[in-house]
């Protein structure tokens, strides 16, 4: 077993009804990453499925059953179980280009003053779309750089940032209790306030705009609007 991991990927598999069709593609995608053998993959699942049996032989994939509730709690559990200094979350229904993790990891290794790296992303409306010729692509999401005056007004780090684990010693962990939909945005602002961020002006992720996603479903719209107001008030954003 290779214990000299450089990076920890945290994957959360909640409702099998929502994500079952994405699981196979996700496992295939992570194995195409140039850093795959140097990465520990921590999978926090709610209920075991036989599809997981196909990947238990891989010595850098670790399965843990969630002890709490919700995606952010799962992320917190995964981060605490990780053994590396650099972590990234990876949504089951999103896909990354082969060098995505490597490019962000290199920046964090070379630039000690950078705490978090994020990037642009391509957006698709088709589940399990191919990253090289996405049939459902509706555009590229160009995020704002961290120095932009409007950076705080909207969640800018996307679904696939990479950051230093030690930042949680100062910022705490994802607050899924107060922000069940936007705890990631809350965390990125907290990190921005204590550390430098770096944006890669290149799409490194194919983001699936899931109509049943935590933050993208119609049923979550009202809750999300309330959380936006809470975040703006918490950080005095105007």
Residue 14 pLDDT grade (very low, low, confident, very high; cuts 50, 70, 90): confident
Ordered alpha helix ranges (H), 53-162:
71-81, 100-110
What does DSSP assign to residue 131? S
Which bin fits 184, alpha (ψ -120 to 50), beta or left (φ > 0)?
alpha
- For residue 160, pLDDT beyond 60: yes
| pLDDT tens digits, 48-84 | 999 999 999 999 999 999 987 899 999 999 999 999 9
pLDDT given at position 1: 44
Task: Catalogue all structural domains in the chain, each as residue range(s) with its CATH number.
Answer: 7-234 (3.90.550.10)
Q: Residue 38's Cα: distance from chain center in Å?
A: 18
pTM above 0.75, yes or no: yes
Contact (Cβ atoms closer than 8 angstroms) between residue 11 and residue 23: no
For the residues 84-106, what does the mean pLDDT come to?
Answer: 97
Q: Please indicate whether residue 211 or residue 196 has the higher confidence score (pLDDT).
A: 196
- Return the exposure string of 98-116: e unless at least 16 CB atoms fall within 10 Å of the residue's CB, then b: ebbbbbbbeebeeeeebbb
| pLDDT tens digits, 204-224 | 999 999 886 555 555 567 888
Which bin fits 115, alpha (ψ -120 to 50), beta or left (φ > 0)?
alpha
pLDDT given at position 25: 95
Cβ atoms within 10 Å, residue 185: 20
What does DSSP assign to residue 207? E
d(CA 172, CA 167): 8
pLDDT given at position 218: 58
d(CA 11, CA 15): 13
């Amino acid at each position: 077993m290779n214990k000299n991991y450089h990076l920890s990927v945290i994957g959360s598999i909640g409702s099998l009804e929502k994500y079952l069709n994405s699981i196979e593609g996700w496992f295939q995608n992570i194995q195409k990453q140039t850093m795959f053998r140097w990465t520990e993959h921590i999978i926090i699942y709610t209920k075991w499925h036989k599809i997981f049996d196909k990947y238990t032989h891989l010595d850098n994939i670790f399965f843990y059953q969630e002890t709490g509730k919700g995606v952010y709690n799962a992320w917190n559990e995964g981060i605490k179980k990780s053994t590396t200094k650099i972590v990234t979350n990876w949504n089951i229904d999103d896909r990354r280009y082969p060098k995505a993790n490597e490019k962000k990891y290199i920046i964090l290794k070379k630039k000690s003053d950078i705490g978090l790296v994020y990037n642009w992303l391509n957006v698709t409306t088709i589940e399990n779309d191919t990253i090289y010729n996405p049939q459902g692509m509706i555009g590229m999401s160009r995020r704002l750089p961290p120095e932009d005056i409007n950076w705080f007004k909207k969640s800018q780090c996307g679904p696939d940032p990479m950051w230093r684990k030690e930042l949680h010693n100062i910022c705490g962990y994802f607050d899924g209790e107060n922000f069940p939909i936007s705890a990631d945005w809350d965390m990125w602002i907290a990190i921005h306030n204590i550390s430098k961020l770096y944006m890669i002006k290149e799409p490194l992720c194919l983001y699936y705009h899931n109509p049943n996603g935590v933050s993208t479903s119609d049923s979550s719209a009202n809750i999300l609007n309330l959380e936006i107001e809470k975040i703006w008030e918490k950080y005095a954003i105007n």
